[in-house]
A and B are shown apart, each in its own frame.
Chain A
Amino acid sequence: MSNTDLEDELRGTLDRAAASVPQATGLSDRAATGVREARRRSWMISGAAAVAVAAVAVTGFALTGGNTPEQPPVAAGGAPQSTAPTTTAVQPLSAKSVAGTWRATQITGTKALKSARPDDPVLVFKADGTWSGSDGCNGLQGTFTIGQRGEFAATSGPQHMIGCENVPHTGVLQSAKRIAVTEDTLTFAAADGHELARYARAR
């Protein structure tokens, strides 16, 4: 068989294979859902940003208000004697707060988190509101939103389900309604407040 014959036959085979693919039902719908979800996310982020800016403005006004004619008297030592209650600055949460790579240290109902798996079962959050990672055998990805007070919601994208001792990141993310973050620990909780999982910052 000459190269040209093989090439022609290959064209025919590939055309037939492509033509045999049934119409992908709901492809537009799924893409549109993704679009809506992303738009909703950007609105939420914009809203959160506006609230954050307003909070900073109000706090700033409250703190600088003392410099006006009502400034408190200065003691002999030079330090102002504030009569107003101390304002504690609470750091609002955002996607940035969790950006980085996390490793599960405890998931309710899951044992053997340290077992060897083909892939490193980590969870990666990005500041743009997307997450990715691996359950140890399958790549995972999706989007997430975080409210200023730790409200949490996540969606997951398409994924293969190759069986192994999968670390159920997706289950945790979909069940979680609240998160708490310290520098090295990320805790997910259900709507009723009970802890679902605990992650440690990997790097």
Chain B
Amino acid sequence: MEFEEYVSARGQELVRLGFTVSGDYQRAEDLAQIALMQAFRSWRKVRKADDPHHYVRRILVNEYLSMTRRRSFTEAPTADVDPHSTVPDPATGIVDSDDLWHALQELSARERVVLVLRYYQDLDDRTIAELLGIKPSSVRATASRGLATLRKTRQTNRVDERLS
């Protein structure tokens, strides 16, 4: 498969994966672009892999995790940035009303990535472990912790709604 064919066939899937892990459409496009650029550099090797998409997906999620570890990731924009010049996120409004989606955004980056790979990409724990370079037991523990946090956050939100 040529690189251009791969991008046409799977590029949008990468943006969707980027959005489900990051919750930010602009960042999702950036992640897809970075993953594609990195894959291109070693495309001869990538195309020989059993599943090139698996390789590119690995780059994307690990790039996202690296990104979240950088100090600048959590930094708030200063007053110098013009809020009117930012590009509106068309996807945010559509999922805005989903409280589970909001609860997902409260999880740690690793918890969110593990849950997305497990429940959106339907990957088994061993594949997720291989993809993230961690042990399957860590995947199970992270997923369990993430699900527990989601359940707790939702219960808290529902109590708050009843009280308000």
Chain B residues in 8 Å Cβ range of A47 = none
Chain B residues near A27 (CB-CB < 8 A): 7, 11-12, 15, 29, 32-33
Contact: A22 with B90, CB < 8 Å? yes
Total interface residues on A, CB under 8 Å, equals 44
CB distance from B11 to the nearest CB of A (A): 4
Which residues of the other chain, A, contact B119 by a CB distance below 8 angstroms? Answer: 7, 10-11, 14
B30 and A160 form a contact (CB under 8 A): yes
Of chain A, the residue at the smallest CB distance from B94 is A20
Chain B's closest residue to A136 (CB) is: B72
In the complex, whether B19 has a CB less than 8 A from a CB of chain A is yes
* Closest chain B residue, CB of each to CB of A19: B16
Could you say which of B3, B75, B101 contacts A162, with CB atoms under 8 Å apart? B75
Q: A3-B147, A31-B3 are in contact. List 20 more A-B contacts (CB 8 A).
A: A10-B119, A13-B95, A13-B104, A14-B115, A16-B95, A18-B20, A21-B12, A23-B12, A24-B32, A28-B7, A34-B36, A34-B40, A38-B40, A119-B70, A137-B72, A139-B70, A157-B33, A158-B33, A160-B27, A162-B75
> Can you pick out 22 interface pairs between chain A and chain B where the beta carbons lie within 8 Å of each other?
A1-B154, A9-B100, A10-B104, A10-B115, A13-B104, A14-B119, A15-B120, A16-B95, A21-B91, A27-B11, A27-B32, A32-B4, A118-B72, A137-B72, A139-B70, A157-B37, A160-B27, A161-B81, A162-B77, A163-B78, A163-B79, A163-B81
Which B residues are within 8 Å of any A CB, using their own CB? 3-4, 7-8, 11-12, 15-17, 19-20, 25, 27-30, 32-34, 36-37, 40-41, 67, 70-72, 75, 77-81, 90-91, 94-95, 98, 100-101, 104, 115-116, 119-120, 147, 150-151, 154
